[in-house]
Structure 1
Amino acid sequence: MAGKRHYDDGCAAAHALDLVGERWALLVVRELLLGPRRFTDLRAGLPGISPNVLSQRLSELERASIVVRRRLPPPGAARVYALTDWGRELEPAIQALGRWAARSPARPRDLPMSASSLILSFRTMVDADRARGLAGTLELRLGEQHFRARLAEGRLALLPGEAERPDAVIAGSPDALAAVAYGGRPLDEALAEGALTVTGDRDLAARFLGLFPLPAPAPATADPA
């Protein structure tokens, strides 16, 4: 990657930072973990990134063999970016970082989440004990993006796309869903105010949104600024 500064350290962890340690790089990977995306899709999921910086990060990730460019067949014929098989192996690392940072005493509680970041956070934070004994299929409609969730035998499979004959459908913005799943907002309140809608099995929807407890924050050792 010409023009980038490197750590010049033989440790593989240092090399990992050479590859994905630049600002926005891991978030670009995060957005691609749920499937190929157009440039405009990536910008929509990462509203704080400039077009120039996004182009630069994508080029760097391509040169590192983490991302590839593809062209969709007609009638779409759009150019999309996708993770390589090796690039997809970053998901456990991103999940581990997410679980670790969820305990940060300084973690902001009021920043927006993209649809991809919310869905991947559900994959990361699902509590297997709470999921045990819960079975069913749900569809999550987050704006134009739809995801299907399958609960069985204490496991959650959460993938892009519509669900076939879902038991429940939850619709709303990612932030509205996060407010119930993570922020402690009662589902009934979100429904009453129109922030979310649920069709089908409302009890299943409520139990699904209760599967993602956040860990207790780590002790704060620094004095407030």
Structure 2
Amino acid sequence: MTNQHYGQFCGLARAAEIVGQRWTLLILRDLSVGPRRYSELVAGLPGIPTNTLATRLKELEDEGIVARTAPSGTERSVVYRLTARGEELGPALDALSRWGAGGMREPRDGEIVTTSSITAALRVATGDGIVPADWDTTYNVRVGEVEVHLVMRDGTVVADPGLVEDPDLEITAGPGIRDLLAGTLSPQDALATGAVQIDGDPALFERFANALHVPYSPSLAI
């Protein structure tokens, strides 16, 4: 851990010392989606200096938040994963993501989306992940070059990277999906304007839009 200490016996101060360093929250976001090799972390965090990534991983290991799995069998790379202590950060990461998204409408110049960022965004959008128990629907979602899938089943919603075969609905979208998730763009208008394209039953798209929600902050004039 760095030498930056706030000199306060305070939970928030201690948390800030651990996760408040540059890139740390995004490393944790990517690992919350699933274990990653070092090369996968580099690829999923464009712009991160490799020495910074190595330093942050070492700091998180020292804090018991991240663990590494040594290569074995045919696996030749070290794999990093969250520990049980690291997984406790999940609700805090989701809350920060939701808060940040409240002030986001369109990407700024140079901003991109990644597989982990979209997967995490959909996870946040599911809220408590509770849907009617009789729903059993699988979606493939493409946003730019990013591909993820989402499953509504047994009263829960789960988002994961990658596509699945034979989904119930294919969704292709650009930045306009943000307005859909905020509720300022209806499913009908999203399709009519071309902000979102689908392959499948429009009723399942309405189900998608009704189940996922990340509102804009009411305190901002967006």
Q: TM-score range by the shorter chain?
A: 0.7 to 0.9
Query: Offset at 1:147?
Result: 4.1
Contact 2:138 2:150 in 1 (8 A): yes
1:123 has 2:120 as partner: no
CA distance in 2 between partners of 1:144 and 1:77 (Å) = 28
Q: Percent identity?
A: 34
Residue of structure 1 equivalent to 2:82: 83
The alpha-carbon distance between structure 1 residues 28 and 181, as it changes in their structure 2 partners (threshold 3 A), is same
Q: What TM-score does the superposition give when structure 2 sets the normalisation length? A: 0.76
Residues 148 and 160 of structure 1 are in contact (CA less than 8 Å); yes or no, is this contact kept in structure 2?
yes
Match of 1:167 in 2: 168
- What does residue 219 of structure 1 align with? 219
Structure 1's unaligned 5+ residue stretches are none
SS of structure 1 residue aligned to 2:139:
strand
Do residues 208 (structure 1) and 208 (structure 2) align? yes
1:109 to 82, 106, 125: 106
Coordinate RMSD, CA, aligned: 3.3
The 2-side partners of 1:162 and 1:24 are apart by 27
Q: Is the Cα–Cα contact under 8 Å of residues 182 and 213 in structure 1 kept in the other structure?
A: no
Aligned-partner Cα distance in 1 for 2:179–2:45: 21
Q: Which moved more, 1:77-86 or 1:148-157?
A: 148-157
Structure 1 range deviating more: 41-50 or 141-150: 141-150
- 1:128, 1:154 within 8 Å by CA — same for their partners in 2? no
Larger deviation, residues 212-221 vs 84-93: 212-221
Aligned to 1:138: 139
Contact 1:126 1:156 in 2 (8 A): yes
Q: Tell me the CA shift for residue 210 of structure 1.
A: 5.2
Shift of 1:136: 1.2
TM alignment of 1:1-225, pairs within 5 A: 1=1, 3-104=2-103, 107=104, 109-110=106-107, 111-126=111-126, 131-132=131-132, 134-140=135-141, 147-152=148-153, 155-160=156-161, 163=164, 165-170=166-171, 176-182=173-179, 184=185, 186-187=190-191, 189-190=194-195, 198-205=198-205, 207-209=207-209, 211-220=211-220
1:56 and 1:187, CA in 2 relative to 1: closer, same or farther beyond 3 A?
farther
The CA deviation at 1:129 is 10
AA at the equivalent of 1:151? M
Report the Cα distance in structure 2 between the residues aligned to 1:21 and 1:54, rounded to whole angstroms. Answer: 14
Structure 2 gaps of 5+ residues are none
Deviation per residue, 1:94-148 (Å, 9 max, x gap): 11112222334xx462132211111111111226799547541223467887644
Q: Deviations over 1:153-184 (max 9, x none)?
A: 653122346546532244x5xxx455325464
| Number of equivalences | 209
Name the CA shift for 1:165/1:60 in 2 (closer, same or farther; >3 Å): same
Would you say the 8 A contact 2:64–2:83 is kept in 1? yes
**C-alpha separation between the residues in 1 aligned to 2:119 and 2:141?**
9
TM norm structure 1: 0.75
Q: Tell me, yes or no, if the aligned pair for 2:129 and 2:158 is still in contact at 8 Å.
A: no
User: How much does 1:65 deviate?
Assistant: 0.9
Note closer, same or farther for the CA distance 1:13–1:90 as it changes in structure 2 (3 Å cut). same
